[in-house]
A and B are shown apart, each in its own frame.
Chain A
């Protein structure tokens, strides 16, 4: 007869509660690690999927994610002339608030260099990619816009022609794709009063020596970067050197962009979440160890009795291990179930990688083993006559 299972069936409610408690603890730890993974995955979404080999950005800067970057709106043509470059696209991204259905929404507007880029590099959940150079938008479903909805951005109305799922920026705001020209228009919006004031100032002030801005309103270009696709076999070092030689630009590889995002911009956040996850893991480990250890301690009287009846140590060890194993197994199963039920409803992506779950399971097994080992050490020390006390 299997004593571990008999005991569990006798104390089913307690077993279920214990497993549930362990399940919740594990779920918390899985969630913390998953949040970390999610933050990283979200941050890298665009860099990893947009398909750029090089990013040409403002000189002496490491934009557009780690720092601001603004380059001339015709920079793409200049870059295109460099030998070994197969494709160029302009890129801009900025946060925007607008209202829809009476509520304030947030989105990260991302310019697609239509018609060279209609957004084919990301998957649609519904609708279509861009088919016109103006007034069409593709929104991530997290922005909360339905397909076909019309929203007002700056001075124009945009129609949502496509929906994506899970495309967000590093802060978790959903992406809203429009053509690059529309994006610059939206970014350039300013109140008319500002235009008037600017005209007045520039009229009264002494003319600038370099006479850079032909416009009465000094404004930066809204283009942040040019995405470069390399021709097969292109000499990256030479291309980089050529572009850097212009002086007003900087060139970053995709790998450098990733590194900048993760190790500069998101460094503190990542560290924070990792630290938090570690604390949670530690607490989980301690609590689960205690639970398993206490369960064994509670059994010492029965273990003494089994010894009195002449049970071998192996039978006693098996009982303790089986019980710890079953609690761990059910706890893990419940953690899986709870995680898969709840995490998809969290506001930010929780990524549960199979290898992370595998490591969690392995850690749980080790915890159960170590805690049981302490329990077993006590159990084997118990003397049969302690039944009498």
Chain B
């Protein structure tokens, strides 16, 4: 990879105090991620994958270490992340295992809310939301409320919402866990496309080895440490 990294995690640790013992959810992890990359994060349960994502996503500060986005130091121990809400909105999109759509809004509204929050004018927001949903093959679903959508459709709406503000970094925590293998594969391919077409950096936590072929590289976590980071991509992509 060339050029400055989009995201740089340096020696990040996250310790949780639980009673007498200290849980080292993340124990000194470093990584760099670049625009246009699709990165898989894998590892056994409890290995710190979600914790890593929370820290990269500026939802939790690290107990030690620093997080840089585009060479700007954004998170460090004790950082006031609530102040970074606006920054997060412009730079990071999230997708989780559950779609977390707002039940009283239609598919379009669920996407355009993310734009309106960023002060995009309502009509323009709707227009772009409709366009995004169309691009994710949900053109026929734009006026449906979440309860009328299948799990896969809901998850694609959530992806569209994450894409709405064109963030350079997209973080997904087991986005396909609640989907069957076909739909799961579709969502993973969607991330692949997003990384290429939007030259966004997409980091996906997954347990599903069948998606391995889609990733540029895979970060293995074990006990809060990054095990192996192959210098070469798992498989080359155009």
Which residues of A does B touch, CB under 8 Å?
1, 3, 6-7, 9-11, 301-302, 305-312, 315, 383-385, 387-388
A383 to B84, CA, bound (A): 13
Cβ contacts A to B, 29 pairs, < 8 Å: A1-B105, A1-B109, A3-B102, A3-B105, A6-B104, A6-B105, A9-B104, A10-B145, A302-B102, A305-B102, A306-B113, A308-B59, A308-B94, A309-B89, A309-B113, A309-B114, A309-B117, A310-B85, A310-B86, A310-B90, A310-B117, A311-B85, A311-B117, A312-B86, A312-B117, A315-B117, A384-B59, A387-B96, A388-B173
A310 to B100, CA, bound (A): 15
A76 to B122, CA, bound (A): 82
Q: Which residue of B lies closest to A380 (CB)?
A: B82
**Taking the nearest CB of chain A, how far is it from the CB of B111, in angstroms?**
10
Does B142 make an interface contact (CB < 8 A)? Answer: no
Does B54 make an interface contact (CB < 8 A)? Answer: yes
Given contacts A10-B104, A302-B102, contact A312 B122 (CB under 8 A): no
Q: Which residue of B lies closest to A387 (CB)?
A: B100
Given contacts A10-B103, A309-B117, A309-B161, contact A385 B85 (CB under 8 A): no
Q: Which residue of A lies closest to B54 (CB)?
A: A385
A308 to B94, CA, bound (A): 8
Contact with A along B82-122 (1 / 0, CB 8 A): 00011011100010100010111100010011101110001
A240 to B109, CA, bound (A): 80
What class of interface size applies to chain B in its complex with A? 20 to 34
Interface residues of B in 140-197 (CB under 8 A from A): 145, 161, 165, 173
Which residues of B does A touch, CB under 8 Å?
50, 54, 59-60, 85-86, 88-90, 94, 96, 100, 102-105, 109, 112-114, 116-118, 122, 145, 161, 165, 173
Residues of B within 8 A of A9 (CB): 104
Contact of A310 among B54, B88, B102, B112 (CB under 8 A): B88
A7 to B88, CA, bound (A): 26
Query: Is there an interface contact between A383 and B59, defined as CB atoms closer than 8 Å?
Result: yes
**Known A6-B109, A305-B102, A307-B85; further 19 A-B contacts with Cβ < 8 A:** A1-B113, A3-B105, A6-B104, A9-B104, A10-B104, A305-B100, A309-B113, A309-B161, A310-B85, A310-B86, A310-B88, A311-B85, A312-B85, A312-B117, A315-B117, A384-B85, A385-B59, A387-B96, A388-B50
Query: Is there an interface contact between A11 and B102, defined as CB atoms closer than 8 Å?
Result: no
Residues of B within 8 A of A383 (CB): 59
Q: Which residue of B lies closest to A304 (CB)?
A: B100
Query: Is there an interface contact between B59 and A310, defined as CB atoms closer than 8 Å?
Result: no
**Taking the nearest CB of chain A, how far is it from the CB of B37, in angstroms?**
23
Contact of B118 among A11, A302, A310, A384 (CB under 8 A): A310
**Taking the nearest CB of chain A, how far is it from the CB of B177, in angstroms?**
13
Residues of A within 8 A of B86 (CB): 310, 312
Contact of A385 among B60, B116, B122 (CB under 8 A): B60
Residues of B within 8 A of A3 (CB): 102, 105, 113
7 pairs of A and B residues whose beta carbons are closest in the complex: A310-B89, A10-B104, A385-B59, A311-B117, A7-B104, A309-B114, A310-B85
Residues of B within 8 A of A6 (CB): 104-105, 109
Residues of B within 8 A of A302 (CB): 102
A307 to B117, CA, bound (A): 10
Q: Which residue of A lies closest to B87 (CB)?
A: A310
A3 to B102, CA, bound (A): 10
Q: Which residue of B lies closest to A299 (CB)?
A: B102
A339 to B122, CA, bound (A): 41
A307 to B94, CA, bound (A): 12
Contact of A1 among B50, B60, B94, B116 (CB under 8 A): B116
Query: Is there an interface contact between A388 and B96, defined as CB atoms closer than 8 Å?
Result: yes
**Taking the nearest CB of chain B, how far is it from the CB of A225, in angstroms?**
68
A175 to B219, CA, bound (A): 93
Residues of A within 8 A of B104 (CB): 6-7, 9-11
A198 to B82, CA, bound (A): 96
Query: Is there an interface contact between B122 and A1, defined as CB atoms closer than 8 Å?
Result: yes
Q: Which residue of B lies closest to A306 (CB)?
A: B117
Q: Which residue of B lies closest to A9 (CB)?
A: B104
Residues of B within 8 A of A384 (CB): 59, 85
**Taking the nearest CB of chain A, how far is it from the CB of B17, in angstroms?**
17
Q: Which residue of B lies closest to A305 (CB)?
A: B100
